[in-house]
Chains A and B, each alone.
Chain A
Amino acid sequence: MAERSRKQSTSESPDPIAERLAVRRTHKLYLGGAFPRSESNRSYAVTSSTGVHLANAARASRKDVRDAVSSARAAWPGWSGRSAHNRGQILYRVAELLEGRRAQFAEELTQATGLGRTRAGQRVSASIDRWVYYAGWTDKIAQVLGSTNPVSGPFGNVSRPESCGVVGVIAPQQDPLLGLVSVLAPVLAAGNTAVVLASEPAPIPAVSLSEVLATADVPAGVVNILTGHTSELAPPLASHEELDGLDLCGAGTQTADLATAAATTLTRILHPIAGEDFTADPGLSRIRPFMETKTVWQPLGT
């Protein structure tokens, strides 16, 4: 376990009214709608961008990865079976709740990344608007990606996109809120369920986001967020045979190994995009990779 600095984090400013002792939050995993500690009972020290100790985050294990995939799998039929309109309402609700916690997220971002107040506030705004953006996509994906196909013969023929299933998401390491939202929200908008490995050095915004998701009508198990060492958690996730898609965004040097592990079961892969700008309009770039296309033939006749 890393040696921990005894310095106080900046978030714990003394209460101005009374010299009371602040109550610190325990940073837990988000798994199947609940907030357990790691089954391994391990934690790791999280520091600010300047090296100040912030908190202990749960250090998830291979078994937590397994449990997270199981709960995502169990949640998938329900989530993908909801109407696209309803999924949109829920993603919009996430934006609404995030808006109410702007200050908390801005402060966590400042601590984690060293961004100034204004820029941190802008990143939070962009993160909220990103949820709104994908809330607006849910009921349009099929209209944009679907088609009626003019086949020869007395047949109707239509193609429509469907979610592929459980998607593993290795969140970007250096952009702990906007980056995380940018890779997670499209997975959900398409009707997939997710197992997220949060940024290893800056997991706190992800933990806070899980607390938002849990109260925003997102059904249990649709999103599972694990904190810990990416190098330890990513391999069992990538090779898990129940995994249908894998976003390697934050995989770094592990990318090739993880893609190789995932190839055994032909898991759909989204490779990291060099220099990806998370403030740019993403369009369908992060939706398409985790969708299947189903084509239905149907005879015409009396």
Chain B
Amino acid sequence: MSAEFPSALILLIGAAVVPFVRGRARAAFLLLLPVLAFLHVLTLPHGEYGRYMLAGHELVAMRVDGVSLLFAYVFLIATFLCAIYALHVKDKLQHVAALVYAGSALGAIFAGDFITVFVYWEISAVAAASLIWAARTERAFRAGMRYLVVQLTSGMLLLIGALLHAGEAGTLQAGYIGLGGLASYVILAAIGIKCAFPLLHNWLEDAYPESTPTGTVLLSAFTTKLGIYMLARTFPGTEALIWIGAAMAAFPIFYAVIENDLRRVLAYSLNNQLGFMVVGIGVGTELALNGAVAHAFADILFKSLLFMAMGAVLFRVGTVKGSELGGLYKSMPWTTGFCIVGAASISAFPLFSGFVTKSMVMTAVAGEGHVGVWLVLLFASAGVFHHAGIKIPYFAFFAHDSGKRCEEAPRNMLAAMAIAAALCIAIGSLPSVFYQLLPYAADYEPYTASHVVDQMQLLVFSALAFAVLMRTGVYPPELRSINLDFDWTYRRLAPRISAGVAYMLSAALRTGSACASSAGRHVAGRVFRHRGPAGVLARTWPTGSMALWLMLMLLAYLLLYYL
């Protein structure tokens, strides 16, 4: 197939075929599709293909370069891993939604103009919402609705921004914009929602933990990375992003420490990792941009791995609440091991993937002289180890024994986790091979003696802090609870305000209508008296009486005439 053919169509057409294939054939088909798409992507030469005209603007379906290829590779690896992980699922809806979601995400990565991006974004939003709804609970339905409203808003803002931008700059090409002018702010807001900027973030923590065990894994891979990808395309080197990213890296870890639902803890740590990428894009040097996209690549793998481990727990035990779990290493030793690899990767332990990707961003930030931001990111690095690296495995698999006993995760889930874990270790152990995939020439060596020692000190002493707080009983226990976040404003505050306004309006209406109706009744009463059914003017009179009156009038006329 040529480069004119959009790779996304392989998955999208495949999704349409899935409902008609059954049993082992379907399993084989689901595994084959991402492999076929991957082979197609491997053949793509750099350049722009699939051009078409729309209302005088040239649109580009396939923009192939270092950045889009890197994201395409990791998206297809994630699709393949999720296909293995979900092989046991009988629900056709989930398979179709997963393929449409992955296909539209791939389409959005290759799209070279805002209109094509918009179309793929909207398809991916609907497919992702279907994956959330697939849990088939009331909570999931509501969370999916909120997710859909937020994502469609993001898409609409992108479209409005793109049209404004076309008016200002005369092009729809999804290239560098930079802050300045209304269009750029609208587009940044659209991308900011996808990237989960602070205050625009809550759809992520709200919706992802409500999906099915398999659905959440796929969700964690794509939507936010579509945002990061577009941000890297349109706003590299925008200084405001450094501050936004630093805030993003820091604030979710406080929530992660006190959150009980372990998949929601992972959603908060996903938000925190996105912060590192946003900072990297904000710094905008080649090293920083390499770091941002490399970290996106690594994050998709280790975050999928962690969500897979928690999904396996949910699948076997029926809950992922820290307050209900503990001691599962006895029942699920393999899942425990894979989870620890994921935890070590997100925590950036030497030899694991996070170490070789996040450090590029850290070095770039320090190198550009942003010492304050560097300290915030260092705090976030220690914090992410604390809540994702230690808390997740500790409360699920160790801590006090909950007495829960279950089977080990199904073999397909273990296989997917094993591959993801192997990739995390491969990237971390052989960075020079991985760095060749990066868009800019990478002259960066992560394994220096001082870097390894620094990182080990940071992590080991963070672990020590956890152990000390745990032994002294200071560490807050896992409690059955939720924590208020920004979603409170639209789930509680706004409905209350609108209910209050509605109450006041109806009260005003009642008073107004009372006055109006008393005045109205007065007028109506008069009209009714004269013209109502019993009124003088509406009375039906007998024909005889009319004839009598007529005769009397004629008689009177006659009399008057003679007089």
Q: A and B, one complex?
A: no
**A-contacting residues of B (Cβ < 8 Å)?**
none
**B-contacting residues of A (Cβ < 8 Å)?**
none
